[in-house]
Amino acid sequence: MYPAPSDHSVERELEALRPDQHKAVEAVRANGFVLIPDVLSQRECDYYVTLISELAKKSKTYIGGYLRESDIMEKQLGFSKLLDHPDTYPIAKHLLGGYARIMSTEAIVRTEADDDPVRWHEDGPNCPSYRSLANPAPTCQVKIGYFLNDVSSEDSGNLVVMPKSHLLPYGPPSDLPLGALADGALQIRAKAGTAVIFHSALWHCVQPNSSKAARKSLYYGYCLPWMAPFDRHASSHALKSLLTGERRNLLMDFEHPGTNWVLIRETWRGDPRLAVASPFRMGYELAVRRLKKLKRAILGNSIN
C-alpha cells in the first residue's frame, strides 16, 4: 500500500487554529451551528450599516422596508473586508477541509412594516440536495452571518435554528410550525457584532420582526472550490484588481474546475498580473492575452 499524499500547507493551516476556534468547529459538527460573540466592534457594525444604506440608495427596486441584496462585494468593495475575518473564516475553512471559495454574499434588512417571511429550510441546491450524497449530509457549504444590531429580544426578526438537525437523514417537514413554535427550535438572541456559523443542512428559518428597529445582517456563504457560486459568476476585473491574498483566492474564478487548485495561472481570470490598480493597464493586459489566445488558435500552439 502506498501512503496517502498529504497537503502540508493545509495541515499547517488547520493546526494554526486557536483553541477557541477548534471548539467552535466541534460545536458546528455536533450542533450544526455556533455563536461567536464580539467579532465586530460597534464602530465596525456602524460602518457596515452605512454600506447597507448606500446599497439601498443605489437599488432600483428598494422603496424602503425589507431589503435583500446579493453579490454585495461587487456593489460595495468594503464588504470584502469580512471575506477572511480571522475570528470566523478559519472555522468555516476548517469545516470544509481546508479549502474554500466564496459562494454568496448578502445584506439583509428586516422591518416591522415590511418583512419577508422565511419558512424552515436548508441551504443548498434542490437538484439534487446535499443530503442525496450521503447520510448525514456532507459539509459542502458553510455560512457565516454577522448581526449588525442587537437581536437579544424575541421580537427582533431573529434567526431560528433546529439544533442537531444537520445530522438527520431528511430535511424539515412542510407542516413544521414556523419559528420558535416548532418543538426543539431555538431563537438566536445576540448582541450587535456577534457572528453565527452554521452547516448548510441545519434547519433554520426567520421570525417576523415585530420590533420598531430594523434588523440588519450580513451573510457570507462558503463552499468547496469546485462548486458553483450561488449569486455570482466570474468576478469583475475591478474587484479582482483591488483584492489580494486570501480574499482574491476566495473568488476562485476559473474557466473550468480542472484548472484549479493553483488558482488557474494559465487563464486570464487567475493571472496575478491582472491584479493591478489601473483599469487601463488591466484592460491592456487582458487584450494582449486574448490576442495571444486567438493567434494560437489560428497558427497553432507552437507559436508564442
> In three state form, how does the secondary structure of 41-74 look?
CHHHHHHHHHHHHHHHHHCCCCCCCCEEEECHHH
Instruction: Average the pLDDT over 113-117 and give the result.
Output: 76
Distance CA 88, CA 81 (A): 12
8-231, which class in CATH?
mainly beta
Q: Start-end ranges of CATH 2.60.120.620 in the chain? A: 8-231
Q: Kindly write down the DSSP assignment for every residue of 212-254, as one continuous string.
A: SSPEEEEEEEEE-TTSPPSS--SPPHHHHHH--HHHHHHH---
Which range is most confident: 38-52, 97-111, 285-299? Answer: 38-52
Pick from 238, 222, 240: which is nearest to 230 by CA?
222
106 and 219 Cβ atoms separated by less than 8 Å: yes
Phi, psi of 108 (to 5 degrees): -130, 135
Which residue did the predictor score with more confidence, 111 or 5?
A: 111
> How many residues make up the chain in this entry?
304
Q: Kindly write down the DSSP assignment for every residue of 6-46, as one continuous string.
A: --HHHHHHHHT--HHHHHHHHHHHHHSEEEETTSS-HHHHH
pLDDT at 191: 96
Contacts of residue 139, defined as CB under 8 A and 6 or more positions apart, other chains included, come to 95, 96, 97, 199, 200
Q: Which tens digit of pLDDT belongs to each residue from 210-264? A: 888 899 999 999 999 888 888 877 788 788 888 888 898 898 776 555 544 444 3
pLDDT at 254: 62
Q: What is the largest CA-CA distance in the chain?
A: 68
pLDDT at 15: 63
Distance CA 42, CA 99 (A): 31
Instruction: Average the pLDDT over 34-44 and give the result.
Output: 98
Distance CA 222, CA 107 (A): 15
Q: Which tens digit of pLDDT belongs to each residue from 154-202? A: 888 889 999 999 999 999 999 999 888 899 999 999 999 999 999 999 9
Query: What Cα–Cα distance (Å) separates residue 59 from each residue in 52, 246, 259?
Result: 10, 29, 36
Handedness of CA 44, 46, 52, 54 (dihedral sign): negative
Q: Which of 5-9, 47-51, 126-130 has the lowest mean pLDDT?
A: 5-9
Instruction: Average the pLDDT over 81-100 and give the result.
Output: 96
Q: Kindly write down the DSSP assignment for every residue of 136-183, as one continuous string.
A: SPP--EEEEEEE-S-B-STTB--EEE-TTGGGSSS---TTPPSGGGST
Half-sphere exposure of residue 187: CA atoms within 13 angstroms, side-chain side: 17
% of residues, the chain, pLDDT over 90: 50
Residue 49: Cβ within 10 Å count: 18
What nine digits make up the cell of 213?
428597529
Distance CA 216, CA 106 (A): 11
- Per DSSP bridges, beta strands 67-70 and 33-36 are unpaired
Confidence of residue 144 (pLDDT cuts 50, 70, 90): very high
